[in-house]
Structure 1
Amino acid sequence: MLKECFTKAQILAAEQLLTLISPSAAMASQHVQALREVELDEDDVEEFEDDPQQLMYIVKDVADWESVFFVDWKDTESFVQSVQQLAEARDAEVTFGVEDAEDEDFLDDTTVPELMVTAHDELHKQGLVLWNWSTDSDCYSGFITTRDVAAQLVALGEVLEVEIREGSEPF
């Protein structure tokens, strides 16, 4: 159970985060329920104890490719695909400024941070915000929300001890 490793406030913050980042109430409900059903084994408990950031990885796991992107630092193709899928779930479109964002030459000539800035700009014009959080690793992770939840996300990040910022400033 999560409460073996995380405080009630942290678990509540993770649930609220899932509600904010999910493109629909039904999906938010599914993700929150999945979070509540997470079972940790003894190794997890030992590893996660006193590390609230691990809760963000659990959030990522329950919502991956539905409300969250998580890609390797050099995996431009997965970044494009996951962000386009997340945008589509919010009735938005991200083209990355090209006709075919999955073109091999295009993907080879760009980086995930460059793509993130472009996607952030495109989504901002559609009333949405692309966010990313500090994974403290060589991966990028984030989500899309409406513009009006910025202050809430920052506050939730503080509870979860994770820095969350707009995709215009990739980590």
Structure 2
Amino acid sequence: MHAPDTEYDADDNFANAAHDFDAEGAIDEDAGTEQLVWQLLLLVNPGDEETALQQFGQYQDATADADEDEFEPAWVLKDIIDWKSGFQAHDDDAAALVEAITELVSRWNLELDWGVEDPTDDEFLAAADTTALIRTAYDALRAHGYTLWLWETGTETTAGWITLSRDDEAMRAIAPALGIEVRTGV
């Protein structure tokens, strides 16, 4: 398992990634899928290159025997990062959404204010709107320098990940290059 050759300093964890793209957010047309996957994994694992490397190895294993036109990187990545660096919950499952995002932010010792004393309360969750919960999480994360991203899966699920806010432009360039339609959680 090895990370693809990139012009980025691995110890930098993509801190200067946005500077490597032009004003339109275009990426290097010659960047291969593996290089883009590596860059995405560094973004969704801020400050945790070890996890990004493990997930990259899992990606390489999952795609080793397939031609690039036989799989969509987004769906392979979804399974690899789920509950570690990303989340997916059914659109009407507020409990799973709150639990997943709470688990993800615990990596940085953060606790989000969901607007109630106990966000696991059954009564709160039964009445909760997942769109409102996503906005709440997005706002709370922005205050700490993070961005909540949603992946447009085309299914009845809400999926996404969290990156450092300073890497917003890099995410806007890398995700579409991998065929992943993303938007922020607002």
TM-score higher than 0.5:
yes
- 1:8 and 1:34 mapped to 2: Cα distance? 20
Equivalent residue, structure 2, for 1:17: 40
RMSD: 2.1
Number of positions where the alignment pairs a residue of Structure 1 with one of Structure 2: 156
Give 1:50 shift.
Answer: 6.8
The question of 1:90 aligning with 2:84 is answered: no
Instruction: Show CA shifts across 1:84-140 (max 9, x none).
Output: 011110222213111111111111111221111000011111111111111011111
- Structure 2 residue corresponding to 1:114, chosen from 121, 124, 132: 132
- Structure 2 residue corresponding to 1:66, chosen from 72, 84, 87: 84
The question of 1:128 aligning with 2:151 is answered: no
Unpaired runs of 5+ residues, structure 1, are 1-6
- Structure 1 residue corresponding to 2:58, chosen from 24, 34, 45: 34
Unpaired runs of 5+ residues, structure 2, are 1-29
Q: Secondary structure at the match of 2:32?
A: helix
* TM-score, length-scaled by structure 2: 0.77
Q: Secondary structure at the match of 1:66?
A: coil
* TM-score, length-scaled by structure 1: 0.83
- 1:31 and 1:50 mapped to 2: Cα distance? 20
Q: Secondary structure at the match of 2:36?
A: helix
The question of 1:148 aligning with 2:166 is answered: yes
C-alpha distance 134-128 of structure 1, shift in aligned 2 (>3 A): same
Mapped contact 1:20–1:145 kept (Cα < 8 A): yes
Give identity over the alignment, percent. 28
Equivalent residue, structure 2, for 1:104: 122
